[in-house]
Amino acid sequence: MFSKIGKKRKITLWTRIGFGMGGMLSSGALTFTHTYMVLFISTEAGLSAGEAAIIASAAIYLDAILAPLMGFISDNFYNTRVGRRFGRRRFWILLAIPMMVAEPLIFLVTPFGFGYYLLCYIVYNIGYSFASTSLGPLTIEMTDNFEERSYLTGTKHLFGNVTGFLMAFLVAFGFGIFGENNPHSYFIIACINASIMVIALLGVYLSTWERTPEEVAQEKIANVGEAIKKLFIDIFSTFRNRSFRRILYVQMSAKFAANVWSACYSYFIVFTLGIPKSFASASETPGKVVAIVCIAVWIAWLAKKGFHQPWYAAVLGAATCMAVFIGLGVGQFTDMIPVAAVMVAYPIVFAVWKFFYAGFQYLPDVPLNYVPDIDELITLRRREGIYSSAQRLVNQLVQGLITTVFGFLLLASGFISTKDGQTVEQPITVPITVSLTLLVGCCCMFVLSAFFARNLKIDKDTCDIVTGEVERVKAGGLMKDVDPKVKAVCEELSGLPYEQCFAHNTIGYQEEEIKPAA
């Protein structure tokens, strides 16, 4: 009864809600664990900041390896009985559900040390990778309509922002009721969060569907060696798609900045701004509401003005907010601004920050939805999973690098590790290091993202031209009959001469079943 292979239907409100619940994963499980795990391990479990950074980055690097493997497996999973029964994408979402239980286990104080926390975090990250790698391609599998894909993506981000609001309340409640320095506070918050993630993933699984095996070109692989060869060729071939490269430049610059903020956040709150974690979480609630409400602003702005204008506003506005945060932090730890003033200003700046945050998180996903259509122009294959995996590979490598570098920057700054709720006064080099990291890693990278966006040409109109041309050629139309204007658009988006499109190239694994167009 769980099989929904090829059951394409009208996308209803329930469909959008069910799929949108997938957004709770990144703003729920990801936000709390990545924000507080390193702090918990280095202040409650007795491990050093360097060991905590190794745990966080090792799991992320493993995920970077697993992500392309998952995309490859899911793209070819219809070759198995399990895939034909449960779906080539949705099966992995189902498998991720029990793995969410690993999250609260991370936030237990145990005598098992480094190995225990590393294992728990790896299991959690594998589950997260199963779900997130499969979620992106579902948008493309469920509908070919640009507006419907945009609504699905927007709903996912809306749910992510709602979850961010709930997480702010949950963290404030947990630390406020059970204590700032009580290690059990982390565990209780993680248990509630994991329960929410299980419900969210069930909602995604029960409300979505996929293309039929007949709609997907099934590529036969002779042996394990060929499978490995195909995996590497396909993953790295995605970077030969000009539109994909340009979107990555834009998106990853902004994600780099967001990951730096995530890595620094808990240390910035506690050791730079000097305000309680419970107050910070509670005071962020208005900002979370802003993100929920204002995602509609970004959706409408994108629909009316295209990608570039809202993108420039989002990343440059975010850079300005980061600069204000840094100014508050420097003013506080140099005693130029009292803590009371910081506590008044922080929620105001945070609310403005969340408005821009909602924008730069949502906007790149819309043009990214159409990259597989451009890939079909190039290769005559449907490789949604491979592109989702390539994107995640880059993101995880960036995130792992940030986590590793920041952990060792903290260690070099003289950060003093504690356990069981102990409190010590950190040296002045700790808040200075955190502030400089935010200045370089956030402000500069947001500005760089605005610079990269100048060359991005993919939008609804150009994508409609590409998909129309692909349909014409697949229906038997000749390449030589192409309209000159259509040809120019195809060349601009693909980065190839038109004559090398439609599998007349060596991009990707060369499968005998895929014949170049006439």
Measured between its terminal Cα atoms, the distance across the chain in Å is 42
Q: At a CB cut-off of 8 Å and minimum separation 6, what does 60 contact?
A: 125, 396, 399, 400, 403
Identify which of 205-209, 290-294, 440-444 has the greatest average pLDDT.
Answer: 440-444
Using only C-alpha atoms, the chain has a radius of gyration, in whole angstroms, of 23
pLDDT digits (tens, 9 = 90+) for 225-256: 777 788 788 888 999 999 999 999 999 999 99
pLDDT-based confidence at 30, cuts 50/70/90? low
Burial label, 436 (beta-carbon count in 10 A; 0-12, 13-18, 19+): middle
CATH architecture, domain 20-213+223-463:
Up-down Bundle (1.20)
* DSSP E strand boundaries for 339-463: none
* Backbone region of residue 322 per phi and psi (left: phi > 0; alpha: psi in -120 to 50; beta: other values): alpha
What's the pLDDT at 43?
78
Q: Residue 45: beta bridge partners?
A: 419
Give the closest residue to 307 by CA, choosing from 452, 95, 508.
Answer: 452
How confident is the model at residue 161, as a pLDDT?
Answer: 74
CA atoms of 137 and 100, how far apart (whole Å): 21
Q: Which residues make beta-bridge pairs with 5?
A: 210
Taking Cα atoms as reference points, which of 246, 216, 487 lies closest to residue 377? 487
Q: What is the pTM of this model?
A: 0.72
Phi, psi dihedral angles at 415 (to 5 degrees): -60, 135
Q: Which residues contact 374 (CB under 8 A, 6 or more apart)?
A: 241, 243, 244, 458, 463, 466, 493, 494
Q: What is the mean pLDDT of the chain?
A: 84
Give the per-residue pLDDT at 2: 47
Q: Is the pLDDT assigned to residue 1 strictly greater than 50? A: no
- Least confident interval from 26-35, 52-61, 75-84, 347-356: 26-35
- Is 278 a residue whose pLDDT tops 50? yes
Statement: residue 317 has pLDDT above 90: yes
What's the average model confidence in pLDDT over 27-52? Answer: 76
CA 73 to chain centre: 20
Most confident of 189-198, 306-315, 502-511: 306-315
Domain ranges for the chain, please list them.
20-213+223-463
Helices (H) and strands (E) in the chain, counts: 23, 0
* pLDDT at site 36: 79
